A and B are shown apart, each in its own frame.
Chain A
């Protein structure tokens, strides 16, 4: 059954159509990639799904429930996590604190009980320990020990991307939206990330929706690919199907990426 379903979604900004009747459905436990030239509407699609934009038409269903029109924090609470193209971290906090903020949704204790967490054996204290354990697991999983107590604003770009991924994982989402996860990474980092994405799918069972320009990565990890051009879906299917689609080749013609596809 589809865990995330997008039906006939359109988004118009003052006369400019950023998304034009886009439909897509994500099978639980799969990896889907959205590709397309710059300005194709990929990030707009993400923003519509996560509630930052209200789509003009169509609907988004998550686990059968309609979520478009809901507030971002509610959508996040349902189990939908995301990373950003340009990294949106809390730059004046440490890696650890950033990841702990990912646990925010799962923290039960309010202001009063939370302020007494240092009382041993209290519910708040037990909760705090559980959250910290979860975060440490993620730090180990993504190999972030070296960055654990450093302000993320001072970390190398590639590491920041990994921290953002870690923070999204800390939310324990069922579906994770990744916006260009390897952009700006070196070869070694890309390699690591590719392995982690596979692990996230296989071991954690998280469904992934990925925007990416790196065709090698896309072809390697995706179960399904959707191609957007000027907001319009022009192709959808298995990697090998999309790779040879004439519309796709046309859209990418002259683009650097077209060479990689070809």
Chain B
């Protein structure tokens, strides 16, 4: 049972990791916690569903369109709402994202209703591989793990080596100075939101496959993603992914050996504990500004 709990924990942790990555991307550039993250992803999953079921498009086409939609949605929300904030401060912006969350939720409920829908996916969650000792992992789990790790590496390279990635980092550390370096901060923010939205959408596709698709799809994953991101220090991509895995495993072990009833509390406990004990997260290189 131990082996299976850990394996299942890592598998579910990969979805947390993806949500955590999405949140970290936006936090890195603007220090804004995006509470609309989950519902942006949920909406993108609905768009994929619509392409697949209503218009009968293929998987590759549908997912590409939905990811393009996700990017446009993220960029649009930044451009149309967050940038319009007068004298923005971080708290105000966070509240704007809460408002966006409600808008997106309402939109999805209105457009697609709240009936649960089955989300078709080319990879099955029932095709399992034996890992020995009766421990199994499904093909979907492997794909999720792969996507999480691949996106982490891609994003890491992007922030480290590309001009735009470095400009994003600069924007987060000092917007004013970034502007004067000739960085188009507005564009950088749009791009950030677009990218984050795409990562979130990947998470939503994978989650909707084991779950059922309805407007509440991403509420819990968003919370878990946030918890994982806090665990990893909010700004570290590698930290976010490891945070996701750790949270998944800890949750499952807690559910398996301590109490299933209180398993849902683990993620909250992690947030509180980390913020109290080590607010910089487990993996972020801690840095104190000298005055």
Contacts and interface: CB of A to CB of B under 8 A. Distances in A.
Direct contact between A and B in the complex (CB less than 8 angstroms)?
Answer: yes
Interface of A: 50, 52, 71-73, 76-77, 81-82, 84, 88-93, 97, 100-102, 104-105, 107, 109-111, 114-115, 117-118, 151, 153-154, 167, 171
B162 A171 contact: no
Interface of B: 157-158, 161-164, 166-167, 169-170, 173-174, 176-185, 287, 289-290
27 contacts: A52-B176, A52-B180, A73-B183, A73-B185, A76-B182, A82-B180, A88-B176, A89-B177, A90-B169, A90-B174, A90-B178, A91-B173, A93-B170, A101-B167, A101-B183, A102-B181, A104-B181, A105-B181, A105-B182, A107-B163, A111-B162, A114-B161, A114-B163, A114-B164, A117-B161, A153-B290, A154-B287
Contact of B177 (A84, A92, A114): A84
A194 B290 CA distance: 26
A102 B173 CA distance: 14
Contacts of B180: 50, 52, 72, 76, 81-82, 88
The 9 closest A-B pairs by CB, nearest first: A105-B182, A88-B177, A72-B179, A76-B182, A90-B173, A114-B162, A114-B163, A73-B182, A107-B163
A148 to B, nearest CB: 17
Contacts of B176: 52, 84, 88
Given A91-B173, A110-B163, A115-B161, 17 more contacts: A52-B180, A72-B179, A73-B184, A76-B179, A76-B181, A84-B176, A88-B174, A89-B174, A90-B177, A91-B174, A92-B287, A101-B170, A101-B181, A104-B170, A114-B164, A115-B157, A154-B290
B173 A115 contact: no
Contacts of A89: 174, 177
Contacts of B179: 52, 72-73, 76
Nearest to B291: A157
Contact of A77 (B164, B166, B182): B182
Nearest to B154: A115
B163 A92 contact: no
B223 to A, nearest CB: 28
Contacts of B184: 71, 73
Contact of B166 (A101, A105, A110): A101
Contacts of A110: 163-164
B106 to A, nearest CB: 34
Nearest to B185: A73
Contacts of A93: 169-170, 173
B174 A115 contact: no
B182 A97 contact: no
Contact of A153 (B161, B166, B170, B287): B287
Contacts of B289: 91, 153
Contacts of A100: 166
A88 B289 CA distance: 13
Contacts of A92: 169, 173, 287
A100 B181 CA distance: 10
B171 to A, nearest CB: 9
A118 B161 CA distance: 10
A72 B182 CA distance: 7
| Central interface residue in A76, A82, A92, A118, by most chain B CB within 10 Å | A92
A189 to B, nearest CB: 17
Nearest to B186: A71
A84 B182 CA distance: 15
Contacts of A153: 287, 289-290
Nearest to A106: B182
Given A151-B287, A154-B290, A115 B181 contact: no
A104 B173 contact: no
Contacts of B183: 73, 101, 104
Contacts of A90: 169-170, 173-174, 177-178
Nearest to B235: A92
A150 B170 CA distance: 16
A166 B127 CA distance: 59
A180 to B, nearest CB: 16
B173 A171 contact: no
| Central interface residue in B170, B180, B290, by most chain A CB within 10 Å | B180
